[in-house]
Structure 1
Amino acid sequence: MNVSIPSILLGLGGKCLLNWTLVFLQRKHICKTFLGVFGVSLAIVDTTLTVCVTTVHTHTDGYVLLLGSKLTRYHVCLLVQIVGQVYSALQWPVVVLAGLDHFCTVTLRLQPTTAMARWFVWVLVTAFLWHLTALYVFLLSDFTPVMEDVPHHQIQQCLVFHTSQILQVAMLLLLTLGCVALHAGCSARLFKNSPMNDQITDRSRAHTRRSVVHQAVHVFLNTWATFLVFLAVLFLPPMGVPAYLGLNAAWLCFLNSLLIAVVLCVVCPASQLAQGLAAVPPDSFCEWRFKFSLAAEDKT
């Protein structure tokens, strides 16, 4: 789809404003997780891209000299296409690394407030991930830039690629969350033929697991139900989402909450949650508080 350069600038400017606003709102713990560190790096990359595109587009001569190279509107379209491909390629690695980070936090009870070493590691991982993804787009992917065969000063629109990775990631994680919830809801039926003592214990554990899953899903949906409807409406049109807008801070915040819900439902640290010992990854949108029956906890 062809998009005018002013529209691209407007979208990038709005995205930068959204990125830095969310970074500021989460400033107390933004750098305590991989997603937080990556969100800051994304805001920096988006700001740099916006400044470059704006400078070239608004320059009176129609080009800008940078380190002896002549940058024109050809390079504006090329840069937008390349960055869009990089953002699309980053979706799944970001999900995997963020999921591992949350899994380690919950299972190993890592406290993010005292994990300066983890912050340093995530900074290095984030820098390496950007570098590796750029190399993949340039050297290994089948990405081919598409440019108009007209003089650079006549270019008013850029061909923009779209991304489907957001829908794939959201559908997979939501399906996983739904399967875990369904399994927890039906788990009590598996213990009907057990001995009486084991049956009581198993039912108590199943009840506790259902409680964790139910509360986690409720907390997530209570916060992000409107955003899920927005995602559904967003992907109804055939054109989809431009790739250069697909990876943004709002999506990372949603992804953070969704991954926390999935990890809590899969790991189900009921006893630690009941005693307040479990370390839940920081989340500025969902309040991950759980309530349990003391009788059920005693039986487990």
Structure 2
Amino acid sequence: MAAMSSENHPFPYLQHGSIFNPSEASGALLLIMLGKVSLNIFLLQVRRQKFRETFMGYFCISLALLDLVLLVTMSFLSHFQNLILLGVRFTKYHTCLLAQIAAFTYGILHYPVFVVAGLDYYFTITQSSKSPNVCRKSIYTAVVVFTWISAFLYVLSLPGNSIGLDHSNSAYQCPFYFSSQTYWLSLGMLLIICLVPVFCWSEVVAMVQSIKLTSFENETVLVFPYVPECSPRDCPKHLLTRLLICFIGTWAPFVFLQMLIVLLGAQIPAFIEMNVPWLYFVNSFLVAVAYWMRRRHIELTEVTWDADPFISWKFCFVPFNCEYADEAQKSSSEIANELL
């Protein structure tokens, strides 16, 4: 089926994808949403529990809750077909309609969330206080609620034929919408990740050549003992290299997945693209950018490294000191033999 032209479409970056009969789409939607909700809950459980509260953290929790509500609602509509509630007759077509509204709402939020989270880190990354701040919590909650309500109301204000079922066809086709916002964000982040090694090639080579395999706190770790004459904060290229190593060391599988999606041009329904793993991937990228941009104003305290629930950025500013761990370490050759 031909996609709706960009001139007539309310969102040029949202396009029709595969089209299904609502009865067929209902089961697929429920399975997809069940998988997404399970992945959201799993990632929220495995993150570090002690980390600084941020806008992105609040938004991820709100997204997980909304996905759960969406799954329960879609399951209810799918099970109780031809239900009349408050004078409205709910059928299997409303399941598809709900998914389309969610697709439009989620599809327009990638850029706003990226910008707001980036500004949040830029202005708060240098703060060393971790004490509860009622005012900040209230602001984050209000901004998250305002973001969701604004997007939802904007989508509902669109013409009915833009987000509703295709009533021109007696079969009531159910299109899946795709957003290009994640594509351009992924492409931009991947370009930066690929350009950093080129820009910092000498630092990358020096750090790779100095790599050592050792044991620290009963765990086998990779150590980069190379330290320039200046401190990391005064050596932009060196700090950028360390930030890249920390980021890739944690998100390498996800970076590879994003490369495949961009290269293959894979299209994922808009209500699936906005998920907790994707947001935390973007979150770590924004934290790294904020650390680098505000490097001269960062205080070297333990609280400073708690902005990210998955990556400890302490390594970037306070290099590993082997002198304090000599008694707990083994030689790299002994560890290599054990691993073999």
Fold shared by both chains (TM-score > 0.5): yes
Describe the superposition over 1:239-272 as per-residue Cα deviations: whole angstroms up to 9, x where unpaired. Answer: 5010110111111111111111111122223x74
1:167 aligned residue: 183
1:217 aligned residue: 244
2:267 aligned residue: 240
1:71 aligned residue: 90
CA contact (8 A) 1:177 1:265 kept: no
CA contact (8 A) 1:257 1:286 kept: yes
Matches within 5 A, 1:279-290: 279-290=304-315
CA contact (8 A) 1:87 1:244 kept: yes
Distance 1:254 1:146, change over 3 A: same
1:191 aligned residue: none
Distance 1:170 1:110, change over 3 A: farther
Matches within 5 A, 1:1-300: 1-3=18-20, 4-26=25-47, 28-29=49-50, 32-59=53-80, 62-107=81-126, 109-139=127-157, 144-145=162-163, 147-149=165-167, 158-176=174-192, 204=230, 208-238=235-265, 240-269=267-296, 272=298, 275-276=300-301, 279-290=304-315, 291=318
5+ residue gaps, structure 2, are 1-17, 203-228, 322-340
Describe the superposition over 1:168-222 as per-residue Cα deviations: whole angstroms up to 9, x where unpaired. Answer: 1122234445666766679xxxxxxxxxxxxxxxx94796222211111110011
1:194 aligned residue: none
Distance 1:92 1:242, change over 3 A: same
Distance 1:138 1:85, change over 3 A: same
Deviation at 1:65, TM superposition (A): 2.6
5+ residue gaps, structure 1, are 187-202, 295-300
Supply the AA of the counterpart residue of 1:52. T
CA distance in 1, matches of 2:176, 2:65: 21
CA distance in 2, matches of 1:163, 1:143: 18
Partner SS state of residue 114, structure 1: coil
CA distance in 1, matches of 2:141, 2:175: 33
CA distance in 2, matches of 1:185, 1:234: 27
CA distance in 2, matches of 1:141, 1:167: 26
CA contact (8 A) 1:23 1:30 kept: no
Percent of aligned positions with the same letter in both sequences?
A: 28
CA distance in 2, matches of 1:281, 1:170: 25
CA contact (8 A) 1:88 1:165 kept: yes
Partner SS state of residue 89, structure 2: strand
